[in-house]
Amino acid sequence: MTIADIPAQQPGPFISATGISGRWMNWLFADKDRMFWVLQIAGWVGFFVLHILSVSTFLAGRTTPALLYSVASSGIGFLTTSVLARPIYRLARRQGPVLLLTTVLTSTVIMAVAMSGMKALIFSIVIGRGWIPLDAESASLTDYILLIVPSMPANLFLLGSWAGFYFGINYYLNLRNEMERALLSARLADQAQLKMLRYQLNPHFLFNTLNAISTLVLEQDGKQANSMLTQLSAFLRYSLDSDPLLKTSLAEEVRALKLYLEIEKTRFGDRLKVDFEIDEETLDAPVPSLILQPAIENAIKYAIAQMEDGGEITIIAKRDGNMLHMRVCDNGPNAPDDPSTILTNSKNGVGLVNMRDRLTFMYQDRSEFRLSKLKPQGLCVSIKLPFENRGQ
């Protein structure tokens, strides 16, 4: 396998890993069996190199018997951990803490004794009588013990370290899996919440628009009714086609808002005046789709609809350093002295609360949402977002 064979988005526990090394790490850790055997072989090969450079050289120099003893010691360790330790530890992981510790400690001691005995036997065969006579005639149990006992601490440490790595890696992978599941659940919940907030079209708007179209039909003003239906169709198509989890350009957002406001101007006639003050440099800035819609709906319902004439809505977009500042202001007479009370009014503040919550979900603490009362009258809804380049 070459690096080209590994997908660029190889799943694995290292979520933020990038580049060739990150892809290899994720490839290695994506499959537990593959990871085990790669680490197992690499670990015991490393042990073999260390053993032959230290223990065997000290005991018998750089000779063939020393090499054979290192090969045998590494092989015994490899087989012990692969055939015995792994199944026992895997079974122990399913038990409670007390039984787990008891099983691991007991089995580790027994395996360390068995490894020491096997190494003593291999030592007597490969190295010979240079250290302790172990031929059939002169060897005794005491002689074997003299070989087994010194290697016991080293084998206990070796198996203990192996167990530590085994349980540590497994618990790490389990923790990463739980974290990924928790992040996925939170992401899905956020997406569901965003979609709910985004798709809450004002039923009053639809009702009033259809009622206005019905009135035009009854008055036999077919041209105006047809124009209003076309505008409503275009606005609803944009609203339903746009993904609430993605962003659109401010230019597209303004186009959709103009469709909406043209419908409202058909309803209100000269009672509604709309001014757009959009800086040219902001038109390509990505913004959440229909993010200003609730503010305009709020102005129509609680300001313009309450006025007999002279209603005005101003939509402003300017760049303020690295922030995009947008405002929707009206000149309605009923703005409270403390505009923040609108957000706590379960009847009147639903749209603006949804607007604020969408901003929080998408930008966290990088956005601002503020209501302010204008003088002599009116309400202004202001938001600030990070000013992003197209494609960010």
Reported as a pLDDT band with limits 50, 70 and 90, residue 133 is: very low
Contacts of 303 (CB under 8 A, 6+ apart): 311, 313, 330, 331, 332, 333, 334, 335, 378, 379
pLDDT at 15 over 50: no
How does the average pLDDT of the chain come out, rounded?
Answer: 79
pLDDT of residue 248: 86
Q: In terms of pLDDT, which residue wins out, 367 or 62?
A: 367
Contacts of 45 (CB under 8 A, 6+ apart): 74
pLDDT of residue 7: 40
Give me 330's structure tokens: 């009206």
CATH architecture of 199-386: 2-Layer Sandwich (3.30)
- Write the pLDDT tens digit of every residue in 348-361: 667 788 788 888 87
Distances (CA, A) of 166 to 39, 74, 113, 345: 10, 18, 20, 57
CB 74 within 8 A of CB 51: yes
Q: Which H or E element spans position 346? A: none
Share of the chain above pLDDT 90, in %: 26
- Distance, in Å, from the CA atom of 188 to the CA atom of 373, rounded to the nearest integer, reads 37
Domain ranges of the chain: 31-189, 199-386
Reported as a pLDDT band with limits 50, 70 and 90, residue 13 is: very low
**What is the pLDDT averaged over residues 119-131?**
69
- Distance, in Å, from the CA atom of 111 to the CA atom of 160, rounded to the nearest integer, reads 11
- Distance, in Å, from the CA atom of 174 to the CA atom of 390, rounded to the nearest integer, reads 39
Q: In terms of pLDDT, which residue wins out, 382 or 4?
A: 382
**What is the pLDDT averaged over residues 303-314?**
88
3-class SS at 96? coil
**What is the pLDDT averaged over residues 255-267?**
84
Reported as a pLDDT band with limits 50, 70 and 90, residue 172 is: confident
pLDDT at 160 over 80: yes
Half-sphere exposure of 76 (CA within 13 A, CB side): 23
